[in-house]
Structure 1
């Protein structure tokens, strides 16, 4: 049996793609003979991240981390994030000569440069050094793999994502009491999500935003006609998806976007820019409109059949995602190729 330690700085109560992906890997682990242990911020003191207090940064002392890893006795180690916990576990593995793998979830160079005057080349250099010392770095899409190869990242392996098609599905009820058509966004309400590009569009009907974050108050003041529902999860979130007509994804920096799969499984066509994430997920499926004119894409998506989107969304499963994840870890640490 594989005894896998996953070190992550992103954890509950955060609601994001990293946390969701790791939770689903845990759910699927028994089917692949894997026992998972997590090292998360729950075990450390922490402080709020500057400009983004919803995220807390852990004070991960070297001795604490070493004691935890030694007690867990993992056969494999995966580092999911490049934060304090990820750095501490990476240092431990390098000191002890342990093999480890990593995954690249977030475009930190673009996120940081959106808030501070820090050159992206410096951040990419630090991330390259972080990931290249591992046996493999997992990425979610072919486009991201190509981009990181161009930045000098090595040993890249693919790890796709999935969706719960029982939860996220078309429903006869429409719970949103708003003028149709309804254009929906789900995600963090923060500068890197480029929400101004969506909310400023001249569109018929109603714009709805689900999520929370540091930009919410400002955006609510700037766009009083849009509806902000706050953070939703589970069935409440699924019912909102099913009540909308088009999912609008204005981000230019997301590496994948699990919300895209949730929307598709709910029968929603995607309107987005032709960038990494939407370009890989939507592709030539006919389930969305990708254009640098986001208004044009949103309006064109109204004519896309919902049953086509649902059928395509059903092709993404967490079982296949988990198969790739665990196979990548095993193969990278044993220096064999994944079939």
Structure 2
């Protein structure tokens, strides 16, 4: 297949959307497909292989996030000259909207993904009045595609109730060769002031208002009431980092990490705190489990899909901060050792290979359904 992927984010960007797309694109290319990626230029060089970086702008209140400018005419010219078998649009910004318009004008098969809980983000930034128009826009955007990929069945059911159509559940995977307990590093733990008996809590993610970071701070305070030596390591960057550093002067802030360095941080901690309430999935939970961490999350998205409470991690009812805090002491007990072993087993069951297989099959089916229409157009040309 000849596949064009249009996205506002792609590696080396550090977020779940970029991680997912990077793995999907690599997997498709390994299977012999031509995949051309179009995305905005970033601060760091991108290794797109065959692809294009286009003009983009950073969000004024969130400089780490960029969006691409519309380029409908450019897409029309490129795809008329070299028509793809299918167009996949991963983000709904101006770049994605112009790609959708161009694909429909040319009658090209197009699929989309819904990766980000935009209406929940609007509420986190005290823009709740935007939630309804945002959902309306997203529904119109995605319903114009052949299929929309969504991470979990629960989210698919919720979106269907809001009028979204033709939803396909596509899970998330993890690189179990990279994210493994074998990367545990005593020297790294020592740099945190921790030995084998020191509990180390880890959080990985964007440091932004929508991530419910106040509960992260409360969780560490609860842990310190039980063991005053408990360390908190925070991996990530974002607009809330400065405030958090002032609020948590004893925490270790590692900044944004990727690759082997990130894998070492995961494996060198003991437990993972994930207080976010705005994820469509939360791929960091899967990475933490594959690395052998005892995870505490809310009962939705990745938490609901991956964690069996008390068996391979801990869950709190969605939005119940008191229950979340009540489960923090359990992270510090020796009983968590068995849960960590089971977490690794869970991680190993979610390879990217199976996820790419499902994605590839769906794109093939969408492309094949359009073939008679393509033949008809060619006959009329």
**How far apart are the structure 2 equivalents of 1:151 and 1:170?**
41
2:156 equivalent to 1:145: yes
**How far apart are the structure 1 equivalents of 2:369 and 2:307?**
33
Residue aligning to 1:44: 54
2:330 equivalent to 1:330: no
**How far apart are the structure 2 equivalents of 1:332 and 1:301?**
45
Residue aligning to 2:201: 183
Residue aligning to 2:170: 159
**How far apart are the structure 2 equivalents of 1:113 and 1:284?**
29
CA contact (8 A) 2:283 2:302 kept: no
Match among 63, 66, 90 for residue 73 of structure 2? 63
Cα root mean square deviation, aligned? 1.8
Closer/same/farther in 2, CA of residues 148 and 335 from structure 1, 3 Å limit: farther
CA contact (8 A) 2:70 2:94 kept: yes
CA contact (8 A) 2:218 2:325 kept: no
CA contact (8 A) 2:270 2:293 kept: yes
Residue aligning to 1:235: 260
**How far apart are the structure 1 equivalents of 2:368 and 2:89?**
17
Residue aligning to 2:135: 124
Length-normalised TM-score, structure 2: 0.83
**How far apart are the structure 1 equivalents of 2:6 and 2:33?**
16
Match among 227, 247, 256 for residue 281 of structure 2? 256
| Shift of residue 57, structure 1, vs aligned partner | 2.0
| Shift of residue 245, structure 1, vs aligned partner | 0.8
Moved over 6 A (4+): none
Match among 272, 280, 289 for residue 297 of structure 2? 272
**How far apart are the structure 2 equivalents of 1:225 and 1:335?**
58
| 1:103-132 C-alpha deviation (Å, 9 max, x unpaired) | 110001111232252331211111000000
3-state SS of 1:203 partner:
helix
**How far apart are the structure 2 equivalents of 1:335 and 1:153?**
21
CA contact (8 A) 2:80 2:106 kept: no
| 1:215-265 C-alpha deviation (Å, 9 max, x unpaired) | 100111112122211011111111111111111111101111111111111
| Shift of residue 72, structure 1, vs aligned partner | 4.4
2:118 equivalent to 1:93: no
**How far apart are the structure 2 equivalents of 1:71 and 1:299?**
62
Length-normalised TM-score, structure 1: 0.93
CA contact (8 A) 1:32 1:323 kept: no
1:190-339 map, 5 Å: 190-201=208-219, 202-204=222-224, 205-283=230-308, 286-291=311-316, 292=320, 293-302=323-332, 303-304=335-336, 305=338, 306-335=340-369
| 1:121-169 C-alpha deviation (Å, 9 max, x unpaired) | 2111110000001011001111111111111111011111111111111
| Shift of residue 193, structure 1, vs aligned partner | 1.0
| Shift of residue 46, structure 1, vs aligned partner | 2.0
| Shift of residue 65, structure 1, vs aligned partner | 2.5
Instruction: Please list every run of 5 or more consecutive structure 1 residues that lacks an aligned counterpart in the other structure.
Output: none
Closer/same/farther in 2, CA of residues 97 and 288 from structure 1, 3 Å limit: same
| Aligned residue-pair number | 335
